[in-house]
Amino acid sequence: MPEISRFYGIIVRMFTDDHVPPHFHAFYNEFEILMDIEDFRILAGNFPPKALALTIEWAAIHQSELLKNWELACNKKPTFKIDPLI
């Protein structure tokens, strides 16, 4: 599962050949979430509130890039890195 970004201890990854809806996986310490790219709802898992807020903020800034990476991953093409939240 390629890493597409890392910031404040949060690691964002995207599977190739993953299920719909378009989403990404985010990891923070022992926590993991699957977040919908289109509306930023949590599909599975949980995060501490501050890590969740940072992840949503990052996803909102980079939504179009996330959707492009989703398209690439679904077509079995390499994804690209997305700038971290600074």
**Residue 86 in tokens:** 């600074």
Instruction: Confirm whether 83 is domain-assigned.
Output: no
29-84 pLDDT, tens digit each: 999 999 999 999 999 999 999 999 999 999 999 999 999 999 999 888 999 999 99
Instruction: Confirm whether 44 is domain-assigned.
Output: yes
What's the pLDDT score for residue 20?
Answer: 83
Instruction: Confirm whether 65 is domain-assigned.
Output: yes
Interacting residues of 81 by C-beta distance below 8 A, sequence separation 6+: 3, 4, 5
Instruction: Go through 25-45 and write b for each residue having 16 or more CB atoms within 10 A of its CB, e for each that does not.
Output: bbbbeeeebbbebeeeebeee
What's the pLDDT score for residue 15?
Answer: 84
1-32 pLDDT, tens digit each: 789 999 999 999 998 777 789 999 999 999 99
Number of domains the chain is built from: 1
Q: What is the pTM of this model?
A: 0.93
The residue segments making up the domain with residue 63 are 3-74
What's the pLDDT score for residue 86?
Answer: 87
Instruction: Confirm whether 36 is domain-assigned.
Output: yes
Instruction: Confirm whether 85 is domain-assigned.
Output: no
DSSP-derived secondary structure letter, 81: -
Instruction: Confirm whether 81 is domain-assigned.
Output: no
Side-chain half-sphere of 3: how many Cα atoms within 13 Å?
9
